Amino acid sequence: MPMSPDATARLSAAITVALGVAAILLPYFFTTLAVMMLAAVMFASGVVALFHAHAARRAGLQAGVFGPWAQVVVGIVLLLWPDVALWLVAMLLGGGLLVNGVLGLLALRESAVVNPPLIERLEPWISIALGVLLILMGAAGSALLLGIVLGVALIGSGLRQWRAADARG
């Protein structure tokens, strides 16, 4: 006996919420899996682009192959070493938080406000501390951050889907 559309939507919502909870509890597994899926897509896209470039060149058209080869190489590297991507994310996000905090401190020093609110004085220092922490944690730090963000997004999506199924039925 087939399931009703509302029952299917609720089951899908429950699975989405469960995946969100799992992403929060097992962030390194989920982010590594996400990087590997991205790597597989990059590799496949590069291979398809290389076939397209080859066909275009045989037809007498100019077609560059640097981009497709770069996709293939990056896809292979990330498939073999997904931690490289997680480490790079940690460095970029951590560096951005660090720069944001320093610029915030400079802006505070240059502002004409004599006694800014406590939160405005703390924000740059919090940004610096989080940036340093993310850089020091490396791939594990970005995995934790991305796992939590992914988990919260999945839980929110599952709950919205459940509410939509309740509204219909």
Answer yes or no: are the C-beta atoms of 154 and 12 closer than 8 Å: no
Tell me the pLDDT of the chain averaged across its residues: 91
Position 72 scores a pLDDT of 96
% of the chain residues with pLDDT over 90: 73
- Over range 13-33, report the average pLDDT: 93
pLDDT at residue 88 in the model: 92
pLDDT at residue 22 is higher than 90: yes
Residue 113: predicted pLDDT:
79
Does the pLDDT value for residue 76 go beyond 90? yes
pLDDT 10s digits, 41-57: 999 999 999 999 999 99
- What crossing angle do the helices spanning 82-110 and 66-80 adopt, rounded to 10°? 100
Q: pLDDT tens, 99-135? A: 999 999 999 888 887 788 888 889 999 999 999 999 9
Q: In whole angstroms, give the CA distance from residue 16 to residue 117.
A: 41
167 within 8 A of 9, measured Cβ to Cβ: no
